[in-house]
Amino acid sequence: MSDLTLRNGTVLAAGKVLPGRQDVVIHDGLVAAIGTDLEAAGEVIDCDGAWVGPGLVDVHTHLREPGQEWKEDIESGSAAAAAGGYTAVVAMPNTDPAIDAGHLARYVQERGRAVGLVDVMAAGCITAGRRGEKLAHLDELWDAGVRLFTDDGDSVADAGLLRRAMEYLAERGGIVSEHCIDAGLAAGGQVHEGEVASRLGMVGVPREAEETIIARDLALVRLTGARYHVQHLSTAGAVALVAAAKAEGLPVTAEATPHHLCFDHGVVAEANPVYKMMPPLREPADVAALRQALRDGIIDLVGTDHAPHAAHEKDVPWEEAPFGVIGLEWAAAVVNTMVGLDQEGFFRVLSSAPARLVGLDGHGDLAVGREANIVVFDPERMADTSRIVSMAPNSPYLGMELRGRVTHTLLRGRLTTRDGEVVQPAGAIG
Amino acid sequence: MRDLLTTEGLSRELLESLLDDGAEFAEVLRRPIPKVPALRGKTVATMFFEPSTRTRLSFERAARALSADILSFSPGTSSLKKGESLKDTVLTIQAMGADLMVVRHTSTGAPWRVAEWTKLPVVNGGDGAHQHPTQALLDSLTLRDRFGSLDGLRIGIVGDIRHSRVARSDIHAFATLGAVVTLVAPPTLLPPDLAGWPVEVSHDLDEVLTELDAVYLLRVQAERGGSSVFPSLPEYRQRFGMTRRRFARLKPDTAVLHPGPMIRGVEIDQEVADDPRCLVLDQVANGVAVRMAVLFQLLGGERDE
C-alpha cells in the first residue's frame, strides 16, 4: 500500500491534542510517525490546521440490507459514512430478515468488507425476529463478532425476557442496548406530546414513554449486572436517570443523536415528514439538557440513528410517513455547531467512546503503530448541505448553515474520502 | 388568499369578508332559482380521502350553485386501493383539468402537501384532528346571523376537543371575531398543552352553563373507543351532555350548535336537538353559503348579475 503524509494538522493522538501543527506519516496502512517537520512519504495532503484524529465510529446506523435495499444498502450507506468521516459503523439489526442469527450477522459484515469503505460491525437482535417472544441466537451472534444487542425500533416489552437476555449476556460481556419507548404510552404517537402536537391535533408521545422504560431497564441492570446502553436519549428526565445510574456505579452508557441535538419540536409546525422520527423532537429545554449532558460526559457518545427512507415513502402526509432521518454525513458538523466541544471532546463523543463501547480496537485511537483509521475535519469551514451521498433523501439538514467539514477519511491508510468526495476502493465488489 | 388551509392566523378582515360573501350567497340560495353563473367553466375537484357525506355534498352543492363543474373523488372506488400514492392521485386529477381542490384526509397536513404538489388553490376540507376551516366559517356565520356579531359573545365548546378539528378551527375564528371561548371537557378529552390557545378551560359544564350565550357540542367520537378516554357513554351524558335539565337552565336566548352528525341521547337529548334554539340546520344551510364564498374568492369569480 502506498504511503501517505497528512501535513500540518492539529493532531489528536492518544486522546490529547499535540501542540502546534504536526504531520502524520502513514506506511502500510499503519501510523508510522507523528511529529513536526517529518520527512514526507508518498502523497502529501496539506491539512492546513484542520483537526486530525481517529476516524469516527457510529454505534447506531441503519444500513437496511438485507431486505430493504430500496431505502439504502451496505454500499450506499458505507459511502455516506465515509463522506461523514466515519471509519466504522454498527449496523442495526431491524432488517428483513432481522439479524437474529450468526449467519445473518456474518453476511452484513462480509458485505461491509467487500464494499471496503468503512468497517461494518453487525448488531444482533435480543429476541428472535425482534418479536419479543424468545431469545435470539445470542451465542451464534456473539461468535460472529456481535457485541451490541438490541431490538432497535422497539423496546423489549417483556421485562422478564429482557432480564434473561441481560443475565445471559452479562456473563459474556455483551451490551444490551434499548430503544426506550413504552408501546402503551406511545400508542399512535406521532410527535412530542406538547404544544405543537396539541395545535396540530396529532397524537403525542409523552417524555414518560421513554423515561419509564429507562427506569425499568436500570432496575434490571441493577439486578443482572449487564452492560446497558441507552439509545437516542431525547428528554431532560432521561438524562437525569442516566446521571443517577452512573453516580450509582451501574455499567451504563448513553447516546444522543445529531437531530435531537439540533432541533426541537418547533420545526414540526408545518407537519413536514422529514422531521418525523422516534423518539420525537422534544422541547428546547430537552435539547439544552442533551447538549449539556454530552459536554459533561453523562451522555457518552453521539449515535446517528441514520435511518434512510426512499423519496416516495416520505413525500406523503405526516401520519403515513415512516419514522427516521439520515445523519451520517452531517453528524460531525452538527456536533461541532450545536454542542461546542473542543477537539478532545469532539473525538471523545464521536470516535473513542463509541469504539470503546463495542470493542472496535482498531478504531477510536490515533497513535503510532496503530491502524491508520483517521479523519481530517476542518471545524471552521462550512459543511456541504447541498448534496446527499446516501441513497436516501430524508435529510433535515439540507440548506442549513452548519460549521465543520470532513475533508478526508482514511481506512487503514487508504483514502475513502478525498476533499469531501468518496473514493471507491480499487477492485471493490460494488 | 391563495388557499384556505387553516383558520389560525386569518385576519378579522378576511374572515368578515368571507362571512359577508357567505351571507349574500345565503340570500342567493333562498331564491326560486338558487344559482349564479359566477364560476361557469371552472372545475372544482372534491378529493375526500376520508369518508364524508355532508361536507362533500355541501361543497358540491356550493360549486353547482356557482355553475362550476365538479370532479368527485372517493377512495372507495379509486386507484388508492391499487397502491397509488396520494401525490399521483392529485397530480392525475390536476391533469384532468381541475381548477381548485377540496381535500379531506385522515392525516395532519395533507392539504398542505397537496398545495405543494399541485400549485392549485386548495381548500382544507378537514385534515386529521387539525383543521376544518369552512366549518368554522359556517359556525361563525350562524352565530352572526343569530346574535348580529360575535363580539363579546361567550361560547362554550363542549366535548372531545382533543380529537376535534372542528374545535381547533372554531377556536381561532371565534376568538378573532371577538368571542370569549371556554373549552369544557374532562382532561382526557382536552389537548395536553393549551399554551397560546385563546381559550378558558373548565372541567364542569354545570359551573359555566348559565354564563354561556352559545353552547357548541362536539360529537362523542365513539369510534375512538370511548372506554379509554372516559368511563362510559351514560357517564359522559351525565357530566357533559346537553340534557333537557341542563337546557332548561340556560339563559333564554342561548343557542345550541353541533357540527353533526349528532348522537342523540349522548351529547344531546332528543328534545334539545329538535328545539328551535338548536341551530344545527341553520349551520348546514350556511355551510353551502360559506363554501360558495370560499370557492368564489379563491377562483376569482366575477359577480355578474
User: Do the chains contact at A201 and B85, CB–CB below 8 Å?
Assistant: no
CB B21 within 8 A of CB B127: no
Is A405 strand, coil or helix?
strand
| Calpha distance A414→A258 (Å, rounded) | 27
Provide CATH code, domain A4-52+369-422: 2.30.40.10
Query: Using the beta-carbon criterion (under 8 Å), do B164 and A204 form an inter-chain contact?
Result: no
Please indicate whether, in this complex, the C-beta atoms of B165 and A202 are within 8 angstroms of each other: no
Please tell me the distance in Å from A326's CA to the nearest CA on chain B: 21
Residue in A190, A201, A317 closest to B168 by CB: A201
Give the pLDDT confidence score for residue B229 in this predicted structure: 84
Sheet holding A175-178, edge to edge: A148-149, A175-178, A227-230, A252-256, A301-302
Q: Do B27 and B68 have their domain in common?
A: yes
Alpha carbon distance B223, B237 (integer Å): 17
* Sequence-ordered alpha helix ranges (H) in chain B: 12-29, 54-65, 86-95, 110-118, 133-147, 165-176, 205-208, 233-240, 244-249, 270-273, 280-298
Give the distance from residue B82's alpha carbon to the nearest chain A alpha carbon, in angstroms: 16
In this structure, the dihedral spanned by the alpha carbons of residues A109, A113, A117 and A118, taken in order and rounded to 10 degrees, is: 40
Contact residues, chain B, for A270 at CB < 8 Å: 109, 112
Instruction: Determine, yes or no, domain membership for B288.
Output: yes
Exposure string of B8-19, with b = 16+ CB inside 10 Å and e = fewer, is: eebeeeebeebb
Give the separation between CA A72 and CA A390, rounded to whole angstroms.
Answer: 7
Q: Is the pLDDT of residue A280 over 70?
A: yes
- Identify whether residues B216 and B92 lie together within a single domain: no
Q: From the CB of residue A139, how many other CB atoms can be counted at a distance below 10 Å? A: 12
Report how far residue B104's alpha carbon sits from residue B49's, in angstroms, rounded to the nearest whole number.
6
Is the same domain home to B209 and B243?
yes
**Shortest Cα distance, chain A CAs vs residue B6, angstroms:** 11
B3 domain-assigned:
no
Amino acid B275 reads: D
Within its chain, how far is the Cα of A273 from the centroid?
21
> Do B216 and B96 fall into the same domain?
no
Pull the grid cell for residue A35: 511529529
Pairing of strands A22-27, A30-35: antiparallel
The alpha carbon of residue A394 and the mean position of all alpha carbons in its chain are separated, in whole angstroms, by 16
| Strand-by-strand arrangement of the B180-184 sheet | B199-202, B180-184, B154-158, B214-217, B255-257
Residues B239 and B263 in one domain: yes
In whole angstroms, what is the distance from residue A10 CA to residue B107 CA?
51
**Overall pTM surpassing 0.90 (yes/no):** yes
Residue B5 lies in a domain: no
Tens-level pLDDT at each residue, chain B (305 residues)? 899 999 999 999 999 999 999 999 999 999 999 999 999 999 999 999 998 889 999 999 999 999 999 999 887 766 666 778 999 999 999 999 999 999 999 999 999 999 999 989 999 999 999 999 999 999 999 999 999 999 999 999 999 999 999 999 999 999 999 999 999 999 999 999 999 999 999 999 999 999 999 999 999 876 655 557 888 888 899 999 999 999 999 999 999 999 999 999 999 999 999 999 999 999 999 999 999 999 999 998 654 44
pLDDT of residue A144: 98
* ipTM of model: 0.89
Q: Can you list the positions of beta strands (E) in A128-226? A: 148-149, 175-178, 191-192, 204-205
Q: Which of B107, B163, B197, B229 to mutate to test the interface with A (most CBs of A within 10 A)?
A: B107
Q: How far is Cα A152 from Cα A163, in angstroms, rounded to an integer?
A: 17
In a domain, B303, yes or no: no
Q: Which residues of chain B have a Cβ shorter than 8 Å from any chain A Cβ? A: 8, 85-87, 105-110, 112-113, 127-131, 162-165, 168, 191-197
Cα distance from A202 to chain B (closest Cα, Å)? 7
Question: What's the rounded mean pLDDT across residues A114-135?
Answer: 98
Is B305 a member of any domain? Answer: no
Number of domains in chain B: 2
For residue A41, the model assigns a pLDDT of 87
- Cβ separation of A197 and B192 shorter than 8 Å? yes
CA B148 to chain centroid: 20
Residue type, A137: H
What pLDDT score does B305 carry?
41
Residues A295-306 have pLDDT tens digits of 999 999 999 999
DSSP 3-state of B4: strand
Catalytic residue among A152, A154, A305, A378: A305
Are B243 and B275 spatial neighbours (Cβ–Cβ below 8 Å)?
no
Q: What is the CATH number of the domain that holds B253?
A: 3.40.50.1370
Kindly report the backbone phi and psi dihedral angles of residue B57, in degrees, each rounded to the nearest multiple of 5, phi listed first. Answer: -60, -40
How far is the C-alpha of A120 from the C-alpha of A99, rounded, in Å? 14
Of A204, A206, A317, the CB nearest to B113: A317
Rg (CA), chain B: 19
Is pLDDT at A269 greater than 80 in this prediction? yes
pLDDT reading at A40 higher than 90: no
Q: Is A305 a catalytic residue?
A: yes
Q: What is the CATH number of domain A55-358?
A: 3.20.20.140
Neighbours of A154 (CB within 10 A): 18
Q: How far apart are CA A379 and CA A395, in angstroms?
A: 21
Query: Taking each helix axis from N to C terminus, what angle separates B280-298 and B133-147, rounded to the nearest 10 degrees?
Result: 120
Would the CB atoms of B163 and A319 count as touching at under 8 Å?
A: no
Give the DSSP letter string of B187-220: GGGS-S--TT-SEEEES-HHHHGGG-SEEEEPPP
- CA–CA dist B150, B92 (Å, integer): 42
In a domain, B157, yes or no: yes
* All residues at 6 or more sequence positions from B204 whose CB lies less than 8 Å from its CB, including other chains: B184
- Rounded to a whole number, what is the distance in Å from the CA of A322 to chain B's nearest CA? 13
For B172, nearest residue in chain A (alpha carbons): A199
Q: Are B22 and B293 in contact (CB under 8 A)?
A: yes
Candidate from B8, B127, B195 with C-beta closest to A195: B195
* Predicted local confidence at residue B220, as pLDDT: 87
Asked if B17 and B88 sit in the same domain, the reply is: yes
Q: Taking CB atoms and an 8 Å limit, are B130 and A206 in contact across chains? A: no
- Among A220, A141, A144, A143, which residue's Cα sits nearest to residue A180? A220
CB contact under 8 A, B192 and A204: yes
- pLDDT score recorded for residue B304: 43
The pLDDT of residue A376: 98
Q: Are residues B101 and B141 in the same domain?
A: no
What is the rounded average pLDDT of the residues A40-60? 96
Task: Count chain A–chain B contacts defined by CB atoms under 8 A.
Answer: 76
Asked if B162 contacts B186 with a C-beta cutoff of 8 angstroms, the reply is no
Q: Evaluate whether residue B266 is within a structural domain.
A: yes
Say what the pLDDT of residue A109 is: 98
Strands A51-54, A4-13: pairing kind = parallel
Residue B159 cell numbers, joined: 366535548
Tell me the average pLDDT across A402-410: 98
A-chain residues near B88 (CB < 8 A): none
Average the pLDDT over A59-88 and give the result: 98
pLDDT, one tens digit per residue, over A305-345 is 999 999 999 999 999 999 999 999 999 999 999 999 999 99
Q: Could you write out the DSSP letters of every residue in B40-94?
A: TT-EEEEEESS--SHHHHHHHHHHHHTT-EEEEE-GGGSGGGGT--HHHHHHHHH
Are B92 and B221 in the same domain?
Answer: no
Could you say which of B107, B127, B191 has the minimum Cβ distance to residue A198?
A: B191
Q: Domain span at residue B19? A: 12-131+284-298
Q: Where are the domains of chain A?
A: 4-52+369-422, 55-358
Q: How far is B86 from chain A (nearest CA, A)?
A: 7
Note the pLDDT tens digit of each residue in A177-203: 999 999 999 999 999 999 999 999 999
Of B107, B129, B196, the CB nearest to A320: B107
pLDDT tens column, A341-361: 999 999 999 999 999 999 999
Which residue in B has a C-alpha nearest to residue A204's C-alpha? B192
Alpha-carbon distance of A108 to A114, in angstroms, equals: 10
Say if residue B178 is in the same domain as residue B92. Answer: no
